[in-house]
Structure formats: C-alpha cells, structure tokens
Structure 1
C-alpha cells in the first residue's frame, strides 16, 4: 500500500503545530471562542494555540497551557485525551498545519465573555454548525469529533486522523484513521 504524496510546490509554505481543546460544561455545551486574531479572525473555534517549539513543549503540554491561558482554569494533563490529529495542507494558501485535538474529560466551569483572544461562549453541540466556522472545522473536524467522542462527560473517546488539502478551488480530505469510542451509551 502506498501513501499518496502531495505534489511539491515551487514555494514551500511554513509548517505550524497547534492544539485545539474541546471543553464541556455540566450540560454538555461546548466552549467556543469568536476569534479576534488571525488566522480565522471573526470565526468561531475551540480554544487552542500554537505549540511552543522553542521550549520543546509537547502537544499535551500545549493543550494544558492554552486551557490555562484562554479559559483561565487549570486542567491536569491526566484529564485530557488526544481524540484527533489534523494535517492541513496550504491553509488559506499561507501555511501547512499539524493540529492535535484534545478533549477534556468531565465538565469544567469557565467564565465566558471577552478575553484578549476573543469572546468565550458556550454552545449546544447541535448548534455548532450554525456558527461562523472555518470551512475545515464545519465539514471535517466537528463531524469527526462527534463520531469519536459523542459523550464528553462519561465516555472514553476514540481517535481520528485526517489530512485536509486546502489547496485549489475545492477543499478535499482523507480520513486516515478512525477509532470509535470503546463504550458508548445507547439513547
């Protein structure tokens, strides 16, 4: 089996590494941020940020740090689970991204409102698609999050890995790994 290799570009783009953090409250609502900074200025996304590569920070350490900085709560590293890995080629034609998606197990309490990063707010999971989201979040990331981590408060989540090609007129993606959660509750 061969792994498809993207065509090379004459001007290679920088590669950035980041994490996204899925936090839920007692009602199962998702913490979102309406961003005041680029990339994705004015759009909604979960909290997160770039890995501090200069210090050798791990993706999990980045998630814990970003949660502390943006949500102003301390979450121990043993309460987060890696639920996804997203590679984006040529996002906005400017950058390749490698993102690690983490879910905080159990509920958290976070003060919402304006921060230096943007506006923090809670939203029902069923309402996420009604928000102004980056296209890759709407079409790829959130549907995969729902598939591998349907119940934030009780289930041990599964895992996904996806490659998203943002180059060209149409975004395309390939799910490279999908592991469903081990114990799901019947409704």
Structure 2
C-alpha cells in the first residue's frame, strides 16, 4: 500500500484519480498534524510503514519516525519543511532521533545527490519496470528561474522538467 501525504486536498484528489483510490491512501498533514500516527494506523496490520521517502527534512522526521515499522527504512531526500528553532512541536533532538531509530531498528539514510553509478541503476530500473514519471510542467532552459520558482511554490504535482535543446 502507498500512503501519500500532502497539505493540499486538490493534490490529494488528483493523485487518487491518477493512481486509483484503491492503490493509495492519503493524509492531509495540515488537517492531521500527527500524520505519523495516522500513517501507522492505516498501514498493513497497523504495524507501520516499511519505507518512507521523507522530503520534508527536519520538520517532518519526527512524524516519519512515528510512522515507520520495526526494521523499516527512511530515506531523507529533501528539506522542504525547515524547522523554526522556536517550534518544538515537530522537532526532535539528536539524542531523541537516535532513540527513535534504535527502538524501531530503523535504517535512516540521507540522500543528497547520487553518484553516477546510482543514476545508472535508477535509469535501468526505470527502463526495466517501464516507469513513467508524472510530469507537472516542462520549462525551456531559458525559463530556468521560473522553473525553480514553480518548484519552490510547491504547487506542482509530479516532476518539474527543464528541456535542454542542442544549439
């Protein structure tokens, strides 16, 4: 089962139609701030989620650790939700992170930019499984600034693509 979180009911509705409501469960994290507990509850047998792709970063890691199953893995691949130092509701200290991870035997992996080998493995997997990524919008290289602005606006659903044409 796939569990998707978003702050936008519009995006949730789009994804449910795109993937089919039977193939995905969704949680609006603005409406359910303790989304980690909810994700664990709706996971198979309520044991927690096996693998999490955390794109939020410091502000979402606590909820990811709440949602993860014993022996699960979290790939921290983003930092969209930066933590406010005064906001203690979502932050966890280094010691707390370690304890959460130890209690659940979690593998926590930070991913920034992959190696050439990882890129080649990814493209082989995409080809082999015939994965067709959802494209939100394609920008010309000349419109690079607009593409970044669109990405950071968080209004996209799917990939933001920069098209590079040969001279």
Could you say which TM-score interval applies, normalised by the shorter chain? under 0.3
Structure 2 length-normalised TM = 0.26
- Pair member with larger Rg: 2
User: Which structure: greater strand fraction?
Assistant: 1
User: Which structure: greater helix fraction?
Assistant: 2
